Chain A
């Protein structure tokens, strides 16, 4: 998922990033319907935007679109959902885990999801982009349009808050 010089096609974006975008959306909204709607919205925006995309930080560009689509939705709905993105090193092509494992992970991850939802949006977004999507601080800064120092601070405080929320469970 490294940024590349060549402009990817829409189909490539959908197949390389679709699942990650869906997971991001799912964690932010905590809801499959909203995540599906949002993923489609993001992919639509990508399709519209690709013709004018200038090769550069593709990750930054993509996640800026994703984030903006999400925030637009939030503004529209006047509420603040939460999302996380999957870890980058978990390949979408990896073999499907055993159902038992899925069940266990779900149980464990519910606490994390709940705790995430308690974080203020800026912090939630930062830790999700870092720890779920697997973006670098610079890519997050590009996507969110804040200095890298701010990203670092949000990630750190977000994690501390998350830790506190998990301990309170």
Chain B
């Protein structure tokens, strides 16, 4: 009779006091459960160590109730896609929703970081030429 999923509950402090004590006394004499506990704890640790990522600018900004409209457009687009499939048209990259990129902003952010390094500023700033 082994502890099974009670081991995870134990790790997560999701057991009451009496269960905790009986789990601990079982663990003391059961190699199988102790090994399983170690495995589960290792996985838990890796998961909890995952970094918290920064959302891109705009991802959390309030959006107006435009979604239904977008949906409507998507339905139309889906119909168009099916048509396109049937006639065997190749697909370009998302003809309907390209995201504009400001190339100047890209170059400037590169240049700004590049200018940290010791060196010939004059050489490094050349990247902005001709933009």
Direct A–B contact present (CB less than 8 angstroms): yes
Chain A residues within CB distance 8 Å of chain B: 10-11, 14, 18-19, 22-23, 26-27, 32, 35-36, 39-41, 43-44, 47, 84, 86-87, 90, 92, 96-97, 102, 105-106, 108-109, 112-113, 116, 127-128, 130-132, 136-137, 152-153, 155-157, 159-160, 162-163, 166
Are B55 and A36 interface neighbours, CB within 8 A?
Answer: yes
Contact of A162 among B14, B46, B58 (CB under 8 A): B46
Question: Please, could you name 17 A-B residue pairs with CB atoms under 8 Å apart, sorted by A?
Answer: A19-B54, A19-B55, A22-B60, A39-B55, A40-B59, A40-B60, A92-B52, A112-B46, A112-B49, A112-B50, A113-B50, A132-B47, A155-B5, A156-B8, A156-B9, A159-B44, A162-B46
Residues on A with beta carbons closer than 8 Å to the beta carbon of B31? none
Residues on B with beta carbons closer than 8 Å to the beta carbon of A113? 50
Are B56 and A32 interface neighbours, CB within 8 A?
Answer: yes
| Bound form: Cα–Cα A41–B46 in Å | 29
Are B47 and A162 interface neighbours, CB within 8 A?
Answer: yes
Q: Closest approach, in angstroms, between the C-beta of A111 and any C-beta of chain B?
A: 8
Asked if B48 lies at the interface with its beta carbon under 8 angstroms from chain A, I say yes
